[in-house]
Structure 1
């Protein structure tokens, strides 16, 4: 059985299941699904730095040519840079990337001229796909037209808007690893006056997850920051649509906190976030409106569109992984930063560092002032979706839910948009949801202290495992 599956953002699966005919078939299905649009026939193609990505990108270009599209090769660049280029040209886009997952996996992200595809678009692609396992004959590859300037245009998106001294004197370690934005990030921060030290460049792909941090990444960041030489450490995941920022003490700043700081810095009035984001947004965010959605950028984008249609002012969205989506134009120093409704790592990194400098405080103190509480998360692996689904269905029952959480408190609120998010006494929450990418049950918790949040997750996974085993038996 193929591992290929649409998740929270794009198609992903094992490289062995994607290379060759499958990537050709999925790309062709995308082109067929949009062939009835208004005559636009250009597609820009980008990729991350995985070993498998250039070959898959070439296959996508062949599928484009066979479908009557003009393929434009933007090379290795951040996903938001490719999306920006597609919007500029009024073109479609395909990004070859597995984002933060290991190198033995890869994926495809699809874009329309106005941004990411929706869940309805995913359904249309699958309808046009047919039986991908049947195989087929691919035509001779056709070289795509090179476009070397897309990265520079993405650089200018920020360098033309923000003042050149917003990071003057800020000491930053740029953990380059294998992120496709490793050079761009170094150049951009330097252009704003930061004192940059590039570290940790790798020729081997490093699967940086900006939400579920690997122990080795936590240890590496703590070691780098222990000497006190830097005010912050920054990096991004493989395709640079998710940021990771650590303060001067080596503590990683939560992605939703980065989003909160960025939205405030930009003067955003309405924010749209998935249910996994912390409750500090409602408690102390200072926004006119907070909208919560299911997990996944397509849902956040749909929420931003709904907020704008309802008359909201400046709108932005962000996720617990730190990816920031600018849903409307904002004015900065008399200049307009145009909307870019796709996950972006560069904007939250810039805005967070600039916000701390503008406040004349450390990043540590800025985060502390938000009183955002603590969050923790973990997963129960090897849990098929049918078992997770049965457990979540039972947890949706009021009486079962009350009995299930009795050892840790009483349920005060419940949100069933994406899994079951339960509000407990003392400002605590515990949230269970099935993964969209893997056979896993995920558990998220929020509490006043990190230890309490970790204890909630540990209890939650143990209790869930016992309940699932009991129901299976």
Structure 2
């Protein structure tokens, strides 16, 4: 499959991300950016250094100065580039396997919008080029990680996590050292876990059973209050309670929004419905899945205390929040804020993280994915369910009577039982996502597994 440019940037097989193709997309991006400095970061995939070098070469040829940030989390890169008024490109394939990689693009004001995406695609189609009088110059940004660490130490205060014992599931997260540095600076005792020099594609939205077992065992073996981790490029969080139970990303989002005293929440239609059941949020806007849609919803909310989050936990802050110190806006998916805020909120309340979560409305979600699917077959299958009520009723017959559907993104089906199944193909990977909601965690998992099996029976 040819590399595809979509909501999360460019992604494709490493073998197809040739220097020429990368250069064409870099030039296309730079033709729509009113900026003469590009910050470049990368994750820990084996292919990322070479692709980053291709990005740098193309930008220099376009007359743009390049600041090499090295191996750095995506939100830390965005914080640095936006603070300097520069654009950025992150070399990462996020959570997908190491045989794939990609590019994420950032304007000086933040993530690219769907309009920007269309402009980049149009420029790529014509192989647009800047025509500079002289090549750009290259340099480095050794303080980028320190700036990101200081952001959270200044906001929460040095003793915010004092007394907590936190495991850091390091795997191949590019932010594994950053996480430990932030936790330590906030007073926590940290325990490094499962460091890997081989890239491991951790999907924080669909944690596999083996990893869930490891998390529980680590908590028991080391007496941990929580285990924290991220996906490969650190824009999605993973956090467990002291029993090793993963707290879903959209629940982390709710807890974070509460601590920040947000008044307006923007989140995709796939997120946990509990966000609409909490009275402290004055308004909730549901969007299509993808941070550009969340950002657009935040912008439409106007000048209010607005935040956004996705079901994967990536959190976007749209106003200056007042904690121990001020926390400036960062309108891009971030992993650390939705890890830190729930831990701090629990500590301030004198509760365990599990007890804090238990105090939320009883609405539970589960998610999984089918990988290496035939995307055309998946599209035909889903359109059939959307367009044909009889086919839809037959497919979901085992789940109960259908009470309603939502086509904001894919197909969300609400049943008369109050349970939900949401089906959606990935926009930039050969994957099919399955989401479920129910009144208990066990039932949500059961509904999701039943839906996954039914979809697999069609697509396999």
TM-score of the two chains, using structure 2 as the length reference: 0.93
Cα distance in 2 for partners of 1:107, 1:399 equals 38
Of 410, 413, 438, which aligns to 1:419?
410
What is residue 136 of structure 1 aligned with on the other side? none
What is residue 117 of structure 1 aligned with on the other side? 112
Query: Which digits, 9 at most, give the CA deviation of each residue in 1:23-53, with x for residues without a partner?
Result: 122112111233xx3xx21111111122211
- Give the Å deviation of 1:142: 7.9
Moved more, 347-356 or 277-286: 277-286
Q: Does 1:57 align with 2:49?
A: no
What is residue 32 of structure 1 aligned with on the other side? 31
What is residue 345 of structure 2 aligned with on the other side? 355
What is residue 138 of structure 1 aligned with on the other side? none
- Give the Å deviation of 1:391: 2.9
What is residue 4 of structure 2 aligned with on the other side? 5
Question: Relative to 1, partners in 2 of residues 1:230 and 1:160: Cα closer, same or farther, differing over 3 Å?
Answer: same
SS of aligned partner of 2:354: helix
- Give the Å deviation of 1:205: 1.4
1:69-468 alignment, distance < 5 Å: 69-130=64-125, 144-227=138-221, 229-284=223-278, 286-308=280-302, 311=303, 313-333=304-324, 335-397=325-387, 399-400=389-390, 401-464=392-455
Cα distance in 2 for partners of 1:444, 1:281 equals 16
Moved more, 355-364 or 155-164: 155-164
Cα distance in 2 for partners of 1:230, 1:462 equals 35
Moved more, 52-61 or 395-404: 395-404
Assess if the C-alpha contact under 8 Å between 1:257 and 1:372 holds in 2. no
Assess if the C-alpha contact under 8 Å between 1:29 and 1:125 holds in 2. yes
Cα distance in 1 for partners of 2:254, 2:121 equals 36
Assess if the C-alpha contact under 8 Å between 1:260 and 1:285 holds in 2. no
Assess if the C-alpha contact under 8 Å between 1:111 and 1:117 holds in 2. yes
Assess if the C-alpha contact under 8 Å between 1:47 and 1:95 holds in 2. yes
Uncovered stretches (5+) of structure 1, i.e. residues with no partner: 133-140
Cα distance in 2 for partners of 1:361, 1:253 equals 15
Cα distance in 2 for partners of 1:163, 1:454 equals 38
What is residue 23 of structure 1 aligned with on the other side? 22
Assess if the C-alpha contact under 8 Å between 1:32 and 1:67 holds in 2. no
- Give the Å deviation of 1:94: 0.5
Query: Which digits, 9 at most, give the CA deviation of each residue in 1:342-382, with x for residues without a partner?
Result: 01111111111101101101111111111343222233445
Q: Does 1:44 align with 2:44?
A: no
Moved more, 381-390 or 335-344: 381-390
Query: Which digits, 9 at most, give the CA deviation of each residue in 1:219-247, with x for residues without a partner?
Result: 22122112361110111111111111011
Cα distance in 2 for partners of 1:220, 1:29 equals 44
Cα distance in 1 for partners of 2:144, 2:457 equals 51
SS of aligned partner of 2:417: helix
Assess if the C-alpha contact under 8 Å between 1:278 and 1:372 holds in 2. no
- Give the Å deviation of 1:22: 1.7
Query: Which digits, 9 at most, give the CA deviation of each residue in 1:199-235, with x for residues without a partner?
Result: 2222111211100113332222122112361110111
RMSD: 2.1
Assess if the C-alpha contact under 8 Å between 1:87 and 1:113 holds in 2. yes
